[in-house]
Amino acid sequence: MAVLYLSTPERGAVFARAFAERLPEVPFWQGRAEDPGVVRYLVTWTAPERLAETYPNLRLVFSVGAGVDQLDLAALPPGVGVVRMLEPGLAEQMGEYVTLGVLALHRDLPLYLDNQRSRRWQAAANRPAAERRVGVMGLGTLGQAALAALAPFGFPLAGWSRSPKTIPGVDCFTDLDAFLARTDILVCLLPLTPETAGLLDARLFARLPEGARLLHAGRGRQLDQAALLAALDDGRLAAAMLDVTDPEPLPPEHPIWRHPRVILTPHVACQTRAEEGAAHVIAGVRADRAGAPVAGLVDRERGY
């Protein structure tokens, strides 16, 4: 039995040290398997080609990130489990990023950045937080961390998820129309699945209050970028902040790069910390070897 690690060498060095200290009986290989036939655990971002033939005894694929859509779950061999990254730094960083984005959109930062570029000194009226309703799509690890981080500011908070939830201080919806109708700043933290691909489109924007704002940190393919630009240009949406696009990066000529009411960041809302990421994978390998449940095991049917 062995672990094969196929991600960045810097993070791999930290993983190698952690495995040597805490799980010395399990060989840890980086980049290349000495014996592919004994690889039981793969740590990676994307699935290597010919996975089933190359690693016939594979049991679990650990994603180095929180998302697993890049692995093409349907194409993986049926008996192979997929584990998403669950390290506490991800939720902490997403809480920071969503706070940054919601405050920027609430306090008209895209407008002021554009005014600065045009040397325009012009104030808009500040709206109280109590009158700006924030709604988070996705109430999982990251959605709930974002809502907890926003709690001190006084925004009326809501969330939308597939299954009903109860979260103190948050109006929880499963009805998308009702959720959108009460949302002035929409935050998307959904996993990419066939149901969520293209969800942020013109039809959805039309169901938000006029002048709503979008903060998108889920996956680029959930957003119809042309519909976003049209909604910004006709005033349906006032501004957007995007951490994810399709493709990443956007081509240099793409209008999103220079749209005056878009703030763009390069998929940096969260980054897996090496030490904590290694601890999560080691705990998963230990649990699997003991026949115990593995934290972060994805429901492959559901897609997240």
User: 195 is in the binding site of which of ligand NDP, ligand OXD, none (Cβ under 5 to 8 A by kind)?
Assistant: ligand NDP
Smallest gap from Cβ 118 to ligand NDP, in A, equals: 30
- Does residue 89 bind ligand OXD (CB under 6 A)? no
Contact 166, 294 (CB under 8 A): no
The beta strands (E) that lie in the chain are given as 2-5, 28-30, 39-44, 60-63, 81-83, 134-137, 157-160, 170-173, 185-188, 212-216, 237-242, 262-264
Instruction: Measure the CA–CA gap between 153 and 89, rounded to whole angstroms.
Output: 22
Tell me which stretch binds ligand NDP (CB under 6 A): 124-132, 201-209, 213-221, 231-239.
Answer: 213-221
- Does residue 300 bind ligand NDP (CB under 6 A)? no
Beta 81-83 vs 237-242: how paired, if at all? unpaired
Instruction: Measure the CA–CA gap between 169 and 159, rounded to whole angstroms.
Output: 10
List the catalytic residue out of 267, 286, 289, 300.
267
Instruction: Measure the CA–CA gap between 39 and 32, rounded to whole angstroms.
Output: 10
- Of 110, 237, 113, 256, residue with least CA distance to 186: 237
Smallest gap from Cβ 193 to ligand NDP, in A, equals: 6
- Does residue 220 bind ligand OXD (CB under 6 A)? no
Measure CA 34 to chain center: 34
The beta strands (E) that lie in 78-236 are given as 81-83, 134-137, 157-160, 170-173, 185-188, 212-216
The only residue of 147, 270, 274, 281 in contact with ligand OXD, by rule CB under 6 A? 270
Instruction: Measure the CA–CA gap between 198 and 272, rounded to whole angstroms.
Output: 26
Instruction: Measure the CA–CA gap between 2 and 72, rounded to whole angstroms.
Output: 23
Active site annotation includes 106 = no
Contact 93, 169 (CB under 8 A): no
Applying the rule CB under 6 A, the residues between 120 and 179 that interact with ligand NDP are 138-143, 161-163
- Number of residues located near ligand NDP, criterion CB under 6 A: 29
- Report the residue closest to ligand OXD, judged by CB: 65
Tokens of 227: 């519909």
- Does residue 187 bind ligand NDP (CB under 6 A)? no
The only residue of 101, 110, 191, 277 in contact with ligand NDP, by rule CB under 6 A? 191
Contact 173, 159 (CB under 8 A): yes
Residue 83 or 129 having the CB closest to ligand OXD? 83
For the packed helices 141-150 and 88-106, what is the interaxial angle rounded to 10 degrees?
50
Residue 39 or 192 having the CB closest to ligand NDP? 192
Instruction: Measure the CA–CA gap between 40 and 131, rounded to whole angstroms.
Output: 53
User: 222 is in the binding site of which of ligand OXD, ligand NDP, none (Cβ under 5 to 8 A by kind)?
Assistant: none
User: 212 is in the binding site of which of ligand OXD, ligand NDP, none (Cβ under 5 to 8 A by kind)?
Assistant: none
Smallest gap from Cβ 247 to ligand NDP, in A, equals: 15
Smallest gap from Cβ 272 to ligand OXD, in A, equals: 6
The only residue of 66, 82, 200, 241 in contact with ligand OXD, by rule CB under 6 A? 66
Active site annotation includes 267 = yes
Applying the rule CB under 6 A, the residues between 50 and 69 that interact with ligand NDP are 65-67
The footprint of ligand OXD (CB under 6 A) covers 65-67, 85, 270, 272
The catalytic residue positions are: 219, 267
The footprint of ligand NDP (CB under 6 A) covers 65-67, 90, 138-143, 161-163, 189-193, 195-196, 217-219, 243-244, 267, 269-270, 304
